[in-house]
Amino acid sequence: MNNNHFLPRPEYPRPQFKRNDWINLNGQWTYSFDFGKSGIERGFAESRGFDGKITVPFCPESSLSGVGFKDFIEMMWYHRIIKVPHKWKGKTILLHFGAVDYESEVFIDGKSAGRHWGGTSSFCLDITHHVHPGKRHNLVVWVKDETRSNHQPCGKQSGAFKSNSCYYTRTTGIWQTVWLEAVSEYGLERDTQIIPDLDGEKLIILPRFLAVKQGHRFRVSVKNEDKTIAQAECSAFNGISCEVSIKNPKEWTPERPFLYDLFFEIIDGNGNVIDSVKSYAGMRKIHIEGNRIFLNNKPCYLRFVLDQGFYPDGIWTAPSDEALKKDIELSKNAGFNGARLHQKVFEERFHYWADKLGYLTWGESSSWGFDIKSPLGARNFLSEWREIVVRDRNHPSIITWTPFNETCDVGDGYQHYRAHIDAYKLTKDLDPTRPINDTSGYVHVKTDIWTVHHYEQDPKKLFKILKPDPKKGVFRRYPDKECDYGGQPYILDEFGGTKWIPENRKPFADNSWGIGDDLKTVKEFYDRLEGLVKTILGFTHICGFCYTQLTDVEQEENGIYNYDRSEKFNMKRIAGIFNTFKILKGA
């Protein structure tokens, strides 16, 4: 039940795990900043409303929130009234948050309903015993966001008052959809995993349940264009898998991103359906052989772009569902077949559109901001990363996990090594189906993919840098600090970054920048870009690239598109450069 189509971001936020009984809580809330961090003492948890007004799910730094406060906000409070429908009586009531940056505690009528740590991962709270169907309740959310603490992942949020270099406007508090949902007490958990077995022509479902009861069954139905083509059942018990055979499966590919509709049902001992969830799956396989990445058992060359997911009016939050879709379409129109989602965990709706449109991605955390030598920082990172992988592992468009970005050991190596090993092993345990790029660029500890960054602007100099040395081997940024290169797929997953501001546009800020400030004409840009891409494609040991970047982000004006998503260049020419066909050995 979508209660109001006029709410901001009214669409169901979790399209791969969809129920009908839900209430969107976006819209106008009240708020109060708590600069003195004294809200608990002042009884804010029992508030019935604050003086300020804010539009959720947009952060207070954004213009779409109606607040637009740009300075540091280390603590704040939200309030709104919620009402649970009478018909939900006897159901388990779940309160969902798409994301709240960073630490949060939820109060209902002054009583704590739960806490969460992690600014980019989703979470839900069982509030059944805190609410009464048909009655109104005061929902209060406390937020703590200490960007400068060095203990929490922040991504590209600026640690200085002003956006600078590659750091941008901060995001504090609620920045994704908040909603209520009614489920059976024996309902299905969101942690349910979908594993496509393309070679075995089957889907493997690993269901998780809120609670189990004797005699309950779990049923999976697979549909193709509203026609049920396969079905399977198993005991509704945690740890039991349900396998559905799909003869001659249609593959999910970037060219033909076919998705099977899935329906999950829990059936009680009397044959009644007590929980129903709509989902989908793509039959695709991603694996590595030697130094090549294979998609559906065929070599796949990655023509990626760096996407940081910032918006002028919403900051980390897309202004609309259509905006998420548009970014993917803009990328594909520029000749890319996928993106490295950089230093931000994207909304589930983005992954949904990537699944629908056939867009390959690498899932990455917002790892910048915490000191990797700090045990507390590592603990905060690993707990959030676990939730990220579990939430997004069912999306066929995600083909690689990247826990860290550009980590560089500056100590004795102990904590750096341990954090990377822990992240690698944790990710493999949660999702053994995808390769892991332990840290994009450097310093590698244990990795399935070898990635390097280099922003050399002269194609001839870049050629010399990337050409394997007969004695030293492939280019490595820190050969004395990282593990030995073991013949993994080798990808230049950051290059370019060339600055260009169209003649009819002013710089975004007085500190606007980019690489290649010496360019005078757009023709020089095309020539440089073509030279860099041709250089990369000329090496047989390189099996993919990632260009920086899709759009300008505030003062960093090196995008293929302007920050407002308008075109900078002749996009047919740009697409012709990036979409150059690459013949791989073994293709």
Taking only the tens place, the pLDDT of each residue in 8-46 is 999 999 999 999 999 999 999 999 999 999 999 999 999
Check whether 4 has a pLDDT greater than 50.
yes
User: Residue 141's closest CA among 61, 60, 62?
Assistant: 60
Q: What's the CA gap between 587 and 583, in Å, rounded?
A: 7
pLDDT band at 586 (very low <50, low <70, confident <90, very high): very low
Exposure string of 249-275, with b = 16+ CB inside 10 Å and e = fewer, is bebbbbeebebbbbbbbbbbeeeeebb
Whether the CB-CB separation of 449 and 400 falls below 8 Å is answered with yes
Q: Where in the chain is the domain with CATH 2.60.40.10?
A: 193-281
The reported pLDDT for the residue numbered 587 is 34
Q: What does the pLDDT look like over 100-135, one tens digit per residue?
A: 999 999 999 999 999 999 999 999 999 999 999 999
Second CATH level (architecture) for the domain 193-281: Sandwich (2.60)
Give how far Cα 395 sits from Cα of 268, 473, 513, Å: 29, 36, 35
* CATH number for the domain running over 293-578: 3.20.20.80
In angstroms, the Cα distances linking 378 to 275, 372, 374, 413, 447 are 38, 6, 6, 14, 18
The mean pLDDT of 487-512, rounded to a whole number, is 95
- pLDDT, position 410: 66
Tell how many helices (H) and how many strands (E) occur in the chain: 7, 31
Percentage of the chain surpassing pLDDT 70?
98
pLDDT on residue 6: 80
d(CA 333, CA 337): 9
pLDDT (0 to 100) of residue 408: 84
**Average pLDDT rounded to a whole number, residues 401-423:** 88
Please confirm whether the linkage preceding 222 is cis (ω < 30° from 0): no
pLDDT of 506 reads 94
| Residue 489 CB-half CA count within 13 A | 25
The average confidence (pLDDT) of the chain is: 95
167, 555 in Cβ contact below 8 A? no
Q: Please state, in angstroms and as integers, the Cα–Cα distance from residue 213 to each residue in 185, 192, 220, 264, 267, following that order.
A: 10, 17, 18, 17, 11
Query: CATH says 22-183 is which class?
Result: mainly beta
Q: What is the pLDDT of residue 583?
A: 44
DSSP 323: H
Asked if residue 517 has pLDDT above 80, the reply is no
* pLDDT score at 5: 61
List, by residue range, all CATH 2.60.120.260 domains of the chain. Answer: 22-183
Predicted confidence at residue 584, as pLDDT, reads 41
Q: Which structure tokens are listed for 420? A: 């990377």
Q: In this predicted structure, what is the pLDDT of residue 24? A: 98
Domain with CATH 3.20.20.80 in the chain: 293-578
